[in-house]
Amino acid sequence: MNHDTPSYREHRGLALAFASCGLATLTLLVNHPNDGAHTFAEFIKYEARNQFIDGLVHGGFIFTLGALSVCFVFLSRSLGATRAPVVIGLVAFFMGCGALTLSMILDGFATPAIAARFVGTDGAEGLQTAKTLLILIGTLIRFLMPTGLLLQSVAVLSWSTVIAAGHGLQRAVGLFGAAAALALIIGVFAAPAALSTHVLLGGILLQALWYLALAVVLFRRDLERVNTQPCRHK
């Protein structure tokens, strides 16, 4: 078999891209700041002190989402770009990326910037202004992040139904993706409010593992079987 073909090189390159995105997501998730503040004053100080790392981590997530968007465009070509589940997956993923990107900007850039602006404020009026702004931002994030991850879960579920039509490892990866997507969808709606953050972080972890699993399948070129079924004409 000739390995020096455009199709082979494309699959190897896409496998490397998915593996890089999966590892980047895991790395950013591990380094995500965790404030642990008990009072509003402590929260302000923590956010102002960690403004750089907040921007670095959340900016990294935004960059990774952009890279994944490109990866899934190429993946959709391998799965069959005209298939309804593939189109639904692509649209849902892009919508999810939009919601998550806005959430990352608010969480990683706007919140620390506001905290740095008011960290040295002693007056009650200034602190109340900061508190009002941060409550608004926090409320938006609590809607945007679950919405973004839910949309991405719909995308993973749609693509996984196509991938699971294969055999062996390909089928296992498709079933894993479908199970991970359903687990996050159910968790977002069923988990208590106190566990919502853990559910969302767990969903990101499962998605990162799915990206790595996709990389293995693409490296082996198994996805070609999905899109090369013979057409029968009467």
Residue 2 has pLDDT above 70, yes or no: no
In the numeric block, the tokens 């990107």 are attached to 101
CA distance 117 to 135: 16
Asked if 226 contacts 11 with a C-beta cutoff of 8 angstroms, the reply is no
Of 34-38, 151-155, 162-166, 195-199, which range is least confident?
A: 34-38
Asked if 115 contacts 47 with a C-beta cutoff of 8 angstroms, the reply is yes
Mean pLDDT score, 162-174: 89
Nearest to 163 by CA among 87, 85, 74: 85
Most confidently modeled range among 29-38, 87-96, 108-117, 125-134: 87-96
Residue 4 has a pLDDT of 45
Domain boundaries, the chain: 6-224
In the numeric block, the tokens 């850039």 are attached to 109
